[in-house]
Structure 1
Amino acid sequence: MTEAQLIQVTVFLAAAAIAAPLGRFLRIGAVLGYLAAGVVIGPYVLGPLYALEHVEEVLKFGEFGVVLLLFVIGLELRPIRLWSMRSAIFGLGAAQLVLTALVLAAIGLVFGLTLAQALFIGLALSLSSTAFALQVLEEKGELTTRHGRLAFSVLLFQDLAAIPLIALAPLFALGGEEPSMDFRSAGLAILTIAAVIVVGRFLLKRLYQLVAAMGVREAMTATALLTVVGVALLMEEVGLSAALGSFIAGALLADSEYRHQIEADIAPFEGLLLAVFFMAVGMSIDLSVLVARPVALVLIVALLIAVKFAVLYGLGSWWGLKSAPARRLAIVLSQGGEFAFVLFSVGLFEGVIGRDVASLLTLAVTLSMAATPLLLLADDMFIRMRTSTVPDYEMPPEAEQHVIIAGFGRFGQIVARVLRARHIPFTALDTSSAQVDFVKRYGATIYFGDAGRIDILRAAGAEKATSFVLAIRDVEDSLRIAEMVRKNFPDLPIYARARDRTHVHKLMDLGVTIIEREMFLAALDLTGKLLRGLGLKPKEAKTLIETFKRHDQERLFNEYEDYTDEEKMRANALTAAVELQELFARDIEALEDGSSSDET
Structure 2
Amino acid sequence: MDYLWIFIAFVCGFLVKQINLPPLVGYLAAGFGLHALGVQPDASLKTLGDLGVILLLFTIGLKLNISSLFKTEIWAGAAGHMSVIVLLTMFNCALLGAVGYSHFSGLDLAGAALIGFAVSFSSTVIAVKVLEDNGEMRSRHGQVAIGILVIQDIAAVIFVTLASDMSPSWWALGLLLLPLLRPALDYLMERCGHGELLPLAGIFLAFSGAELFELVGLKGHLGALVVAVLVSSHAKAAELSKSLLSFKDLFLIGFFLSIGFTALPTMDMLGVAMIMAIALPIKAGLFFLWLTRLKLRARTSFLTALSLANYSEFGLIVCSISVTQGLLSKEWLVIMALSVALSFVFSSVANTLSHRLYGRWTAELKQFENPMRLAEDQFDQPGKVAVLVVGMGRVGTGAYDILQNEMAKTACGIDMDRNRAVSHSEAGRNVIYGDAEDPEFWSDIDFDGIQLIMFAMPNFLDIQEAQNQIQLAGFKGKTAAIARYEDEKEKLLSAGVNEVFNFYAEAGAGFADQSVHLLASK
Structure 1 contact 309–330 (Cα < 8 Å) conserved: yes
Q: Which has the higher helix share?
A: 1
CA contact (8 A) 1:469 1:494 kept: no
Aligned mate of 1:38, from 11, 17, 31: 31
Structure 2 runs not aligned, ≥5 long:
98-106, 363-378, 435-445, 447-522
1:545-587 Cα deviation digits (max 9, x unpaired): xxxxxxxxxxxxxxxxxxxxxxxxxxxxxxxxxxxxxxxxxxx
Counterparts of 1:298 and 1:146 in 2: how far apart (Å)? 32
Q: Do the aligned residues in 2 keep the contact of 1:147 with 1:321 (CA within 8 Å)? A: no
| Counterpart residue type for residue 141 of structure 2 | H
Judging changes above 3 Å, is the alpha-carbon distance between structure 1 residues 261 and 482 closer, same or farther for their aligned structure 2 residues?
A: closer
Is residue 2:56 matched to residue 1:69? Answer: yes
How much does 1:225 deviate? Answer: 1.8
Residue identity in the other structure for 1:338: E
Partner of 1:284: 261
Cα 1:386–1:126, aligned 2, differ >3 Å: closer, same or farther?
A: closer
**Which runs of 5 or more structure 1 residues have no equivalent in the other structure?**
171-178, 388-408, 417-425, 430-450, 500-517, 519-600
Report the equivalent of 2:70.
86
The within-5 A match list for 1:180-191 is: 185=168, 187-191=170-174
Conserved in 2, the CA contact under 8 Å of 1:75 and 1:250?
yes
3-state SS of 1:494 partner: coil
Matches within 5 A, 1:312-391: 312-383=287-358, 385=360
After superposition, give the CA deviation of every residue in 1:373-410 in whole Å (9 maximum; x if it has no partner): 122234444346569xxxxxxxxxxxxxxxxxxxxx99
Q: Give the AA of the match of 2:275.
A: L
Q: Once the 2 structures are TM-superposed, how far is the Cα of residue 141 of structure 1 from its aligned partner? A: 1.9
> Aligned equivalents of 1:312 and 1:327: distance in 2?
8
| Percent of residue pairs identical | 22
Q: Quote the Cα distance in structure 1 between the aligned partners of 2:337 and 2:89.
A: 16
Q: What residue identity is the alignment partner of 1:34? A: Y
Q: Secondary structure at the match of 2:430?
A: strand
Between the aligned partners of 2:387 and 2:278, the Cα distance in structure 1 is 48
Letter in 2 for 1:230: S
User: Aligned pairs, how many?
Assistant: 404
Aligned to 2:179: 197
Kindly tell me: are residues 63 and 498 of structure 1, through their superposed partners in 2, closer, same or farther at Cα, counting changes over 3 Å? closer
**Could you tell me whether the CA contact under 8 Å between 1:197 and 1:252 is conserved in 2?**
yes
The answer to whether the Cα contact below 8 Å between 1:341 and 1:362 also exists between their aligned partners in 2 is yes
Q: What is the letter of the counterpart of residue 138 of structure 1?
A: E
User: Are the counterparts in 1 of residues 210 and 223 from structure 2 also a CA contact under 8 Å?
Assistant: yes
The 5-angstrom pairing of residues 446-525 of structure 1 reads 451-452=390-391, 465-466=403-404, 478-480=415-417, 483=420, 494-496=429-431
Q: Which amino acid aligns with 2:297?
A: K
Aligned equivalents of 2:236, 2:352: Cα separation in 1: 37
**Closer, same or farther in 2 for the Cα pair 1:378/1:39, shift >3 Å?**
farther
Correspondence 1:106 to 2:91? yes
Partner Cα separation in structure 2 for residue 494 and residue 239 of structure 1: 48
- Once the two structures are TM-superposed, the CA of residue 54 in structure 1 deviates from its matched residue by 3.1
How far off is 1:297 after superposition? 2.5
Q: 2:251 matched to 1:273? A: yes
Change (3 A) 1:362 1:13: closer
> In the TM superposition, what is the alpha-carbon distance from 1:100 to its structure 2 partner?
1.6
Mapped contact 2:214–2:220 kept (Cα < 8 A): yes
Partner Cα separation in structure 1 for residue 20 and residue 161 of structure 2:
41
Give how far 1:470 is off: 6.9
After TM superposition, give the deviation of residue 273 of structure 1 in Å: 0.9
Distance 1:58 1:470, change over 3 A: farther
Q: 1:253 aligns with which of 231, 250, 264?
A: 231
Match of 1:232 in 2: 210
Structure 1 Cα separation of the partners of residues 21 and 326 of structure 2? 39
Q: Aligned partners of 1:190, 1:75: CA distance in 2, in Å?
A: 23
CA separation of 1:147 and 1:21: change in aligned 2, threshold 3 A: same
- In 2, are the aligned partners of 1:332 and 1:376 still within 8 Å (CA)? yes
CA separation of 1:28 and 1:99: change in aligned 2, threshold 3 A: same
Contact 2:21 2:349 in 1 (8 A): yes
SS of 2:340 mapped into structure 1: helix
Cα distance between partner residues in 2 of 1:485 and 1:21? 41
Q: Work out the CA distance in 2 between the residues paired with 1:126 and 1:168.
A: 18
Q: Is the 8 A contact 2:48 2:252 kept in 1?
A: no
**1:218 Cα deviation (Å)?**
4.1
Please state how far the C-alpha of 1:86 moved relative to its aligned partner. 1.6
Shift in Å at residue 155 of structure 1? 0.8
Question: Structure 1 length as normaliser, TM-score?
Answer: 0.59
**2:116 is aligned with what amino acid?**
G
Q: CA RMSD in A?
A: 3.8
Distance 1:165 1:410 in 2: 43
Q: Return the letter of the residue paired with 2:187.
A: R
Give the Cα separation in 2 of the matches to 1:497 and 1:330: 26
Q: Distance in 1 between matches of 2:80 and 2:380?
A: 40
1:352 aligned counterpart, secondary structure: coil
In structure 1, the residue corresponding to 2:35 is in which secondary structure? coil
Match of 1:240, SS state, is coil
The separation in 2 between residues aligned to 1:276 and 1:469, in whole angstroms, is 50
In the alignment, which residue of structure 2 is the partner of 1:141? 135
Inter-CA distance 367–415: structure 2 relative to 1 (3 Å threshold) = same
Cα separation, 2, equivalents of 1:461 and 1:373: 34
